[in-house]
Amino acid sequence: MGKTLFEKIWESHIVVEKQNEPDLIYIDRHLVHEVTSPQAFDGLRMNNRKVRRPDLTIATMDHNVPTTDRSLPMLDETSSIQIKTLENNCKDFGIKLFDINSPNQGIVHVIGPQLGITLPGSTIVCGDSHTSTHGAFGALALGIGTSEVEHVLASQTLWLEKPKTFEVRVEGKRKNTHAVTAKDIILSIIKNIGTAGGTGTVIEYRGEGISDLSMDQRMTICNMSIEGGARAGLIAPDEKTFDYLRNREYTPKNYESLVDSWRDDLKTDSDATFDKQFILDINDITPQVSWGTNPGMTCDVDEPIPSPDEFSNGDPNQKKGAEKALEYMDLKPGTMIEDIKIDRVFIGSCTNARLEDLIEASKIIQGQKVASNVSAMVVPGSQMVKKQAEEMGLDKIFTDANFEWREAGCSMCLGMNPDILSPGERCASTSNRNFEGRQGNGGRTHLVSPVMAAAAAINGHFVDVRKLDLN
Amino acid sequence: MRGNIIKYPRDNIDTDVIIPGQYLKVHDYAELATHAMEGLDPDFHSKVKEGDFILSGKNFGCGSSREHAPIALSHCGVKAILALSFARIFYRNSVDGAFLLPIEIDQDAYDGISEGDEIDIDISKNEIKNITKNQTYKMKPFSEIIGKIIAAGGLFKYKPDQD
């Protein structure tokens, strides 16, 4: 019987395999950031261990870095200590670090692909749940906790339970590819399978609706696999993948011969079977807007907010969850999405802060002004994205419209730096999580695509971007 | 293992409410513990006692991979989470650092156990006894792998069986 892409990558990385034991899996790349690594390095020191493969370990700082002028001293002392700690750890253990002043600094999941560090068929881990992003390149990319970070630093391996396989097939063609985006596809998938739908599985996204996407868009899809509960998301590499990674700063020297073997090997066999399957037809999908406090609580832009009864289908906990979510979000069932007014707009995060996201959003912004009741910011995913955008003049389009144009980092996606919502503020956000308090205590998050966020900024409320001329 | 239940009857309790992002810069675990569950229940720290268990619904611990979540709970004295299901990173983090036991329960246990009930968990028998109500429920056995990591006392103490 044939094998899935996941099974092929898994099997090619097994170091130790025994009946009724976890598999010991070799890790090809380990990405490290300032928040989930300090205790791991402390653990190494305590046990007199070295980093096994510093050459396969790459670090940057993204979670708590300020996105304002970096020539000024950092005001937050605890963040400053965490950043300094990562610098010291990288120096002590011989790890390559893209620090706060590096032109390669950025969100770890944005810089990995941009630098050619993320490679098809490889295993990648990082102490961050959105490591799933790298699956867009046909890499098996897992988010791990700090104990596992320490284990990988020490041994370049991990004991893992083999996940099950889940095929998510995306069929059809979007009618308006500027208005209906990769973000809308993944939010639709999560809305349908639920936030635990992928638990214990690795999703492989397949079908015409996926192969049509650019690499930036595929990363948006794989990024949010974790929001559907999956361990990882994968897309088989194709010519778009190989073209993207060609001639990057860290692309391997023997790249073309690698591509030849990837072309043959890195695909699911036609007779392979998956443990689970879900099919999404995207011919008629609309822009998506989350209304609740998890990414599964999402509806079409032209729908009213559902009542807890409608949402829950008779499940009492789902009903209670929807009631609590509506209370937290200060929303009423039946309210049309386009009638929801917003206070803040955040275009950023490892989900939607790559160059293409900024280009698409800028088309909506050009020649317009942010609504007077809204404050809006763009936080590019990396300093490289920022530079490329500036070379194209995008920064001017955003700042002319009264958007703030910031330095790269995770920023308001998770509220670890000063970029947070105030209690009660409502935000149209291109990030990945609308959990209570995620963007700041009491803040209210609506997950949307970059074009939806941009249109909301201009209008002061959500707008169905299919009505706009985006070409 | 005996303790009292703190019940959060809802699904999808995420690691952002277990320990909000702003505290991920806190390295002192005792201080971290004072902020556990702050995003969901600001009274948690004052009511939790050494040896307590948390009971909740589906997909407990979803979201961010922060190991600070099981660390914060364990440093409040929480010894186990009983839930209908767990998100996988939280589940692994809980056992990797030997912070607390993630115990999957069925609907009977979920419905039967109330806030404050005294519970006895026997992982050798995969059994949960409700002392307060004199009821017994089954827990889902740990997979062999997870059982071995728990028995070893965490990921760094685990060694595969010798041939």
Question: Between chains, do A416 and B160 touch, taking CB under 8 Å as contact?
Answer: no
Name the band, by pLDDT with cuts 50, 70 and 90, for residue A102: very high
CA angle A136, A138, A143 (to 5 degrees): 70
Q: Which CATH class is domain B2-162?
A: alpha beta
CB A137 within 8 A of CB A131: no
φ/ψ of A447, rounded to 5, equals -80, 130
For A280-323, the pLDDT digits (tens) are: 999 999 999 999 999 999 999 999 999 999 999 999 999 999 99
Cα A306 to Cα A188: distance, rounded to the nearest angstrom: 15
Question: Between chains, do A21 and B158 touch, taking CB under 8 Å as contact?
Answer: no
Which of A85, A109, A129 has the highest number of chain B CBs within 10 A, making it the mutation to test binding with B?
Answer: A129
- Which of helix, strand or coil describes residue A205? strand
| Residue ranges per structural domain of chain B | 2-162
Question: Between chains, do A438 and B21 touch, taking CB under 8 Å as contact?
Answer: yes
pLDDT, residue B160, reads: 76
Burial class (CB in 10 A: 0-12, 13-18, 19+), A308: middle
Give percent of chain A with pLDDT exceeding 70: 100
DSSP character for B62?
B
Question: Between chains, do B12 and A147 touch, taking CB under 8 Å as contact?
Answer: no
CB A43 within 8 A of CB A168: no
Which ranges of A255-413 does DSSP label H, i.e. alpha helix?
Answer: 255-265, 308-312, 316-329, 355-365, 383-391, 394-400
Instruction: Give the amino acid at A16.
Output: V
A159 chain-B contacts, CB cut-off 8 A: 145, 149, 155, 158
Query: Per the structure block, which two tokens stand in for A325?
Result: 């979510």
What number is the average pLDDT over the span A443-464? 98
Which of B29, B55, B88 has the highest number of chain A CBs within 10 A, making it the mutation to test binding with A?
Answer: B88
- Residue given tokens 């920064």 in the structure block: A395
What number is the average pLDDT over the span A267-276? 98
Question: Between chains, do B16 and A438 touch, taking CB under 8 Å as contact?
Answer: yes
Question: Between chains, do A127 and B62 touch, taking CB under 8 Å as contact?
Answer: no
CB A385 within 8 A of CB A357: no
The shares of helix, strand and coil residues in chain B, as percent rounded to the nearest 5, are 30, 25, 50
Question: Between chains, do B10 and A438 touch, taking CB under 8 Å as contact?
Answer: no
Name the band, by pLDDT with cuts 50, 70 and 90, for residue B162: low
Cα A242 to Cα A265: distance, rounded to the nearest angstrom: 14
What number is the average pLDDT over the span A164-175? 97
pLDDT, residue A176, reads: 94
Question: Between chains, do A145 and B20 touch, taking CB under 8 Å as contact?
Answer: no
Name the band, by pLDDT with cuts 50, 70 and 90, for residue A73: confident
- Which of helix, strand or coil describes residue A236? coil
Residue of B nearest to A437 (CA): B39
pLDDT at A446 > cutoff 60: yes
Question: Between chains, do B65 and A414 touch, taking CB under 8 Å as contact?
Answer: no
Instruction: Give the amino acid at A265.
Output: D
A435 chain-B contacts, CB cut-off 8 A: 14, 16-17, 39, 63
pLDDT, residue B91, reads: 98
Q: State the nearest Cα–Cα gap between A293 and chain B, in angstroms.
A: 9
Cα A335 to Cα A340: distance, rounded to the nearest angstrom: 8
Q: Which residues pair with B14 in a beta bridge?
A: B62
A41, A79, A78: which is closest to A57 by C-alpha? A41
B136 Cβ under 8 Å from any chain A Cβ:
no
Name the band, by pLDDT with cuts 50, 70 and 90, for residue A204: very high
Pairing of strands A344-347, A426-429: parallel
DSSP character for B162?
P
Q: State the nearest Cα–Cα gap between A421 and chain B, in angstroms.
A: 12
Name the band, by pLDDT with cuts 50, 70 and 90, for residue A20: confident
For B50-94, the pLDDT digits (tens) are: 999 999 999 999 999 999 999 999 999 999 999 999 999 999 999
Cα A329 to Cα A427, A438, A456, B21: the distances in Å are: 11, 13, 17, 19
* Number of alpha helices (DSSP H) and beta strands (DSSP E) in chain A: 16, 19
Residue of B nearest to A419 (CA): B22
A159, A182, A153, A201: which is closest to A53 by C-alpha? A153
Question: Between chains, do B12 and A441 touch, taking CB under 8 Å as contact?
Answer: no
Question: Between chains, do B154 and A127 touch, taking CB under 8 Å as contact?
Answer: no
Cα A209 to Cα A177, A350, A452: the distances in Å are: 11, 21, 20
- Which of helix, strand or coil describes residue A50? coil
Half-sphere exposure of A62 (CA within 13 A, CB side): 35
Q: State the nearest Cα–Cα gap between B61 and chain A, in angstroms.
A: 10
A230, A233, A229, A231: which is closest to A221 by C-alpha? A233
Cα A306 to Cα A291: distance, rounded to the nearest angstrom: 9
Q: Which residues pair with A97 in a beta bridge?
A: A59
Q: Which residues pair with A422 in a beta bridge?
A: none
A318 chain-B contacts, CB cut-off 8 A: 11
SS3 labels along A95-136? CEEECCCCCCCECHHHHHHHCCCCCCCCEEEECCHHHHHHHH
Stated pTM of the model: 0.97
SS3 labels along A402-461? CEEECCCCCHHHCCCCCCCCCCCCEEEECCCCCCCCCCCCCCEEEECCHHHHHHHHHHCE
Question: Between chains, do B154 and A21 touch, taking CB under 8 Å as contact?
Answer: no
B13 chain-A contacts, CB cut-off 8 A: none
Q: Which residues 79-98 of B are in CB contact (within 8 Å) with A?
A: 85, 87-89, 92-93, 96-97
CB A63 within 8 A of CB A408: no
Question: Between chains, do B11 and A321 touch, taking CB under 8 Å as contact?
Answer: yes
B145 Cβ under 8 Å from any chain A Cβ:
yes
pLDDT at A105 > cutoff 80: yes
Q: What is A134-195 written as a DSSP string?
A: GGGGT-EEEE--HHHHHHHHHHSEEEEPPPEEEEEEEES--S-TTTS-HHHHHHHHHHHH-T
For A111-126, the pLDDT digits (tens) are: 999 999 999 999 999 9
Mean pLDDT across chain A: 97
Cα A182 to Cα A179: distance, rounded to the nearest angstrom: 10
Give percent of chain A with pLDDT exceeding 90: 96
Q: Which residues pair with B129 in a beta bridge?
A: B120, B136
Cα A35 to Cα A64: distance, rounded to the nearest angstrom: 8
Pairing of strands A157-160, A140-143: unpaired
The minimal CB distance from B27 to the residues A16, A38, A159 is found for: A38
Cα A416 to Cα A83: distance, rounded to the nearest angstrom: 13
